[in-house]
A and B are shown apart, each in its own frame.
Chain A
Amino acid sequence: MAGRRVRTDARDEPQPRAIPDDLERALVAYIDATSVKAAGGGTSGGWAAVPGRTADPESTAWVLVARARAKEVAPAGWNAARDWLLARQRPDGSWVMRDGADFSTWPTLVALFAISLTSRDIESNRARERATTWALDEHSVTPSLWSRFLMRMLPQGESEAGVVLDATLDGFGWARGTFAWVEPTAMAMLALARQDSFADLKERVSVGARLLADRQSPDGGWNYGNKRVLGYDLPGYPDTTCWALLGLQAAVRSGAMTAAVAGPVATRGFALLSGGEPRRSTLTLSLETLARRAWADSSLALPDNATRIPALRTAVAKALEAQHEGYPMLETRTAVLALLALREVSL
């Protein structure tokens, strides 16, 4: 089909390109554009978040997820993501976003999830085991016994910072040695719920799911990590709310949390998504579609995903148009999530 063109302009300004009318094909083309050439040529140099940047394990792992979940449209060449990831796993089993900057922890969770979906060969299984061991050894910062005592003494359970949450629950932060946050903890649930044969695995997923439930904001959604600060309630964000719903469902599926416990929590989360602010974001609409899909077999009364697909298609088209003008409206992970959502497959 013929593509549309948008205006062109001077060298330093955003450069337009043809936009394919087939959204899935356009997303695949975008993901291809983020692949990085290997030193000797070819496309095994991993994938970057946006075209022209350095490859990173998170983006590369999402490409592998796309290959696993959307084989019909994901090129076989995307299997190279597996080799790239395995070659860059650190001796301790982790991956970091930027070589030399050793803070980031979440890429390991995404890579573990991706490898768990795709590969069962010996080398991949070893990588999985090492990554799982690393993840189980990774702990978010929790307060000392003395801090816990002081927090209990403060009125209404609020800390000096006015934070109301159960800080003793062990989750996952974005970075090593930091506080647990919703999105990385949810990603950990998705990754760890797919593992087996590890001591404490179920307990860790269970605690992570309890953490997610604990961090639910009064409006039913999830903020990025806290629900109340300095006496002010924090609003739920649609994208983090979707991540929490996906994480909780993973915990239910693995048996680490019962549907009876998670269901009411999820119902409140979906209620927030059904109302509230208008959602025109590709990422949020993709995640919401995937979250509804994940909970589709539950007894929750959820609106049909068909109500979201048209909005998602509009959002993806708009994002692609802006992206083709040169504006970073997509990341590789967003494109993968949109691709999966449009195809209505499970994460």
Chain B
Amino acid sequence: MAQDRRTFLRVSAGVAATAAVGAVVYDRKRQADAAAPRWMPSAVRTPAGSRVAVLHRAAYDTAALEDDVARGLDMFALDVAGRRVVLKPNFVEYDPASVINTNPALVGVVAQAFKRMGARSVVVAEGPGHRRDNAYLLAESGLLDMLRDTRTPYVDLNMDDVVRVACRSHYTSLGELWLPRTIVEADLVVSMPKLKTHHWAGVTLSMKNLFGIMPGSVYGWPKNVLHQQGIENSILDISAALERPPFTIVDGIVGMEGNGPIQGTAVQSGVLIFGDDPVAVDASAARIMGVDPERVGYIAEAGRFLGNIGAARITQIGEPATGRTPPFELLHQHAGLRYAGS
């Protein structure tokens, strides 16, 4: 159909105006949707205030670590007598030239500490995300030697029996999650992440470490179903689905910056971080890395219902955290996670 220029401009202006109005309406709806709670009341567990302990340690010296771990746990007066404790370190992959995993020496020290505290059982459990060859990871990473030395059992969560658990938040569209029986039946899960950057999520800490509990037998390798649902969405739904929040011990003695969590660079960050509010631990750990937790999508969202992220509601105990650790290098696409103006 022939169309003169004036008609074209009039129609174009109309279309543009309609589009502009539509965009405003859409943007308001999007903001309203984003602000609307996506969790059930039973998922809310934010305490009135949280405590996070920071201890400085420059190397993985076992004797010194024993002292650190005893001090760190003592600050939270955990009662594990007669209880089943599951340690969930981060053993996603092994590369002899890299520092991907939670240091086995620290895992061993923590296992022994909980045994001394009277735990009925202490089990190390992991569902490695990348490689199905779990035995390879165990042997090559040194974790198997530590397990043998400390007589600590290990469960491969990828092949554990599973339990169906209803989601208490709905960031993914899954509605339910399949969790390993070892995790569901634990009285206390201890998340032991490495202090690392993450090329998709920004940082990987206590909550992201829980991705590793999800069984490969259900979700594949590397937990493809959950990646497809969105890493941040999945982190939130997994954290909310757990009956109890994990206790957290972050291995930040040597962290990873840059292209984490696999191909990043080792950084001597020199900290151990303890806490019973995983959101507060993640927020504090992010700050130590020079990252604003309010700008990390899943941490900010978790701060709305799972725990505290505001510095005013987190009491730092132990040793002063500030100024000891240089800001972590971030991939350029994560430059916006730094504090404004930094």
Contact = CB atoms under 8 A, between A and B. Distances in A.
Interface of A: 9-10, 12-14, 49-50, 53-54, 56, 97-98, 100-101, 103-104, 106, 141, 173-175, 177-179, 181, 183, 224, 229-230, 232, 235, 237, 239, 277, 280-284, 318-319, 322, 325-331, 334
Contacts of B144: 322, 327, 329
A329 B145 CA distance: 13
A3 B260 CA distance: 45
A327 B132 contact: no
Nearest to A52: B161
Given A103-B220, A239-B132, A13 B140 contact: no
Nearest to B218: A101
Contact of A50 (B156, B219, B227): B156
Interface in B144-174: 144, 147-148, 151-156, 159-162, 164
Contacts of B18: none
Contact of B147 (A239, A319, A327): A327
Interface string B298-331: 0000000000000000000000000000000001
A141 B159 CA distance: 25
B199 A98 contact: no
A328 B154 contact: yes
B268 interface: no
A97 B199 contact: no
Contact of A104 (B132, B218, B228): B218
Given A327-B147, A329-B139, A98 B217 contact: yes
B138 interface: yes
Contact of B155 (A178, A224, A237, A328): A328
Contacts, number: 125
Contacts of A319: 135
B112 interface: no
Contacts of B216: 174
Given A53-B159, A175-B224, A179-B224, A12 B136 contact: no
A12 B132 contact: no
B153 A326 contact: yes
Interface in B38-96: 95-96
B120 interface: yes
A181 B221 contact: yes
Contacts of B184: none
Contact of B219 (A9, A175, A237, A330): A175
B33 interface: no
Nearest to A178: B224
Given A101-B162, A174-B221, A174-B224, A230 B331 contact: yes
Contacts of B161: 53-54
Contacts of A178: 220, 224-225, 227-228
B148 A325 contact: yes
Interface of B is mostly: mixed
Given A280-B140, A281-B140, A326-B153, 10 more contacts: A13-B153, A14-B153, A53-B160, A141-B228, A173-B220, A174-B219, A174-B221, A175-B224, A322-B139, A328-B159
CB-based closest 8 A-B pairs: A174-B220, A281-B136, A178-B224, A49-B159, A329-B135, A12-B121, A101-B218, A175-B220
Contacts of B4: none
B120 A181 contact: no
10 contacts: A12-B121, A98-B218, A181-B221, A224-B131, A230-B333, A235-B95, A239-B133, A277-B96, A280-B140, A331-B159
Nearest to B224: A178
Contacts of B138: 327, 329
B218 A283 contact: no
Contact of B220 (A10, A181, A282, A325): A181
Interface in B77-124: 95-96, 120-121
A328 B134 CA distance: 8
B274 interface: no
A100 B217 CA distance: 12
A175 B222 CA distance: 11
A104 B164 CA distance: 15
A281 B135 contact: yes
A285 to B, nearest CB: 10
A322 B263 CA distance: 30
Contacts of B130: 224, 237
B178 interface: yes
Contacts of B96: 277
Contacts of B164: 100-101
Contacts of B156: 50, 328
A13 B154 CA distance: 10
A328 B143 CA distance: 12
B221 A283 contact: no
B60 to A, nearest CB: 22
Contact of A327 (B95, B154, B162): B154
Nearest to A230: B199
Contacts of B131: 224, 237, 239
B318 to A, nearest CB: 31
A10 B150 CA distance: 12
A277 B121 CA distance: 36
Contact of B135 (A49, A100, A282, A325): A282
Contacts of B199: 229-230
A330 B73 CA distance: 34
A325 B149 CA distance: 12
Given A230-B259, A280-B140, A13 B151 contact: yes
A13 B147 CA distance: 10
Given A50-B159, A232-B259, A327-B147, A283 B220 contact: no
Given A12-B120, A104-B218, A327-B138, A283 B160 contact: no
B136 A283 contact: yes
B153 A12 contact: yes
A319 B134 CA distance: 12
Contacts of A230: 199, 259, 331, 333
Contacts of B140: 280-281
Interface in B234-288: 259, 263
